[in-house]
Amino acid sequence: MDAFESEHHITLPSAYREFLVELGGSGAGPFGGLLPLEECRLYTMDRQLPDGAARGFHHVSHPDALRGDLFLHIVEMGGTDLCLIGVTGPLTGRVLVGNADGFWPPNVSSASDFLAWYERWLDHMREGKDNAALGLASPATVANTPWGPRARARTSVRSQAQES
């Protein structure tokens, strides 16, 4: 990790760094899973166009990449869709999804940092919630588990009936 930071002249956001140190750097995660650090690439966000069109992203070594805030590609989404974490600037530590070609606008997670974002994903998976827009789809079987949403709904209905 130190070598990655040194090579790219960056400091990883503290919550993401803590995750890498304590839990490892790849594997289970939304969309196609977390990328190993050695496969993560730095991007910059494109300039806002006067017509208000969605902003895309360019890899830092691309000739059209702007100098500016850096974002690290951390989750594989496929195609030109990107799940990134802010490395510099006002979005440092925040997770966002966007499209490299600007087909849709970047969406910044409301989670305060990577750990809160990842924990939200784990909670969604545990609870069997499906949210295709955030890549939080989970197997249908989760909904039927003793701790899943259907079990909680049955418990809630029973509790309400007993109170009546």
**Residue range 14-68, pLDDT digits in tens:** 999 999 998 877 778 888 889 999 999 999 998 877 787 788 888 888 877 678 8
Structure tokens belonging to residue 83: 């799940």
Instruction: In whole angstroms, give the CA distance from residue 138 to residue 36.
Output: 22
Q: What pLDDT is stored for residue 152 in this prediction?
A: 52
Of the pLDDT bands very low, low, confident and very high (cuts 50, 70, 90), residue 124 is confident
Q: For residue 129, what pLDDT is reported?
A: 74
**What pLDDT, on the 0 to 100 scale, is given for residue 42?**
93
Buried b vs exposed e over 59-93: b needs ≥16 C-beta within 10 Å? Answer: ebeeeebeeeebbbbbbbbeeebbbbbbbbeebbb
